[in-house]
Structure 1
């Protein structure tokens, strides 16, 4: 497993340290703290009935944000449903992220400068899509990558093998990240595969594979940065497994993690918290303080409050409006439905 910072925030692999400025390091920490607050507020909003579908992210900030920090603006992100933070830091306005959770179509309309698809709900479907996006980039001579995320459960899907194998066969500039948070909803990773790691599955597909400490933001950044360099230089895709942990439930739709996780396991992983370990590292360098962290938290709360208010003001979508933007030319069945709902909405 590749690791740069241990649980105490000490460098254990000096040679692997990425070339990041002090400002970069502070910005990474700011984003992780902000995202932790966003997760806490999103859970509260969900419980209040003000958000719809939500998958908690606490514990996975290093995996999510360390990888996104290694990207360029024109790289293409194909996220899973837990990967909204990467979209936000790539440029998706926060209020649109809230609208996505509510099922509003505007939450799926990416700004022109954000190269991404909406979070995929179907487990693993984004992996085959990423292979196709990456091949398209290669064929057009673009020096960018397609990056996609799934969990350990996604690595048990047929789409995982098809997508990664296809990208390898065509040397497409793709990065496949499996965020191994130990449980596919409730099934432990040990029961999903006889393989000791997910990263080793890359061997059968003939591409590089890396096992990374997913609670170590510097290690994640470094491995993704190098994978991106290989991809844009024509050396094909990379499979990266980040060992991480989600502190909350699988989603807020009724999952109870106490039925399949022990208190001892939770306590063990809380000691590896990505924010705590990075905080220790930055404080030792004189780059972070409790005052600075509190400022970030307060800013996050204010911006979240403003974003949810803006989402509340978004005009509610109608069925006819949704149908009208589904196709350039509506097929016969949707034309019938359009007329049916026009009549209902006019009453």
Structure 2
């Protein structure tokens, strides 16, 4: 086909083609909007898939799938102790109490028993209360402490007592209006509340038992300071209702008991002066005046540590005001 024929056919096609249609701008805008919406939906869907993939990946890496999830982290020691003692019964009692850092507290004592005293020993903690013809004694023992030590001697008849913080107890009738409630305050240790002459002993014993708590970090409060003798250790602190306070120190082959009480009429006729303090030797005991108090140190033999210990006692608070006693600091 030559050039002239080609030009002729092209002109014929152009002449027969329909005229161009007018532009519909509204339709063009609608099509553009639809296209953008479709693109946006595609983008959101892709992002959702990506988030799902990342979430599943993190869950698998950190926790595993259901049934294969990692165990929670182990409890810290303090949390373990709190969890174990949540019902008032720790897993285990200590093998010994530190008399300088152990405290037993109870509640529910009636006002008719105003005389109060405490005893912190390496073997047990004790609170005593007394009134006219009545008495109560609450105690907790260390791990393995003999139950008979809490009940005492004499005939006894035992029956099942009330639950103490959900744990079984025994109610022991010892005759002569003497009763003792015993239960385990720890899985391997016993506690007791002994009563005498009370009108409703079981009710009071139960109230006291359920209120009982032991703090092994609370420092014992005393109205004086004293130097622990060389080679001895503190084995008992006893606060009486006189008022008086006594401490027992135990050495390899002997014991030493220090008693601090009001000076009253004095120490008697002094037989010597030691470190500037008047003193009286009475057999195996030495008695000294220290300000407004009298210090008596009883030993099993005459030897100088008794004098040194008596002379080391320094009053720092009113003996008659236990609420004002500061925490004891061994020295």
- Which interval holds the TM-score relative to the shorter structure? under 0.3
Query: Relative contact order, CA 8 A, sep 6+: which one is greater?
Result: 1
Q: Which has the higher strand share?
A: 2
Q: Which structure has the larger Rg over C-alpha atoms?
A: 2
State the TM-score, normalizing by the size of structure 2. 0.26
Q: Which has the higher helix share?
A: 1
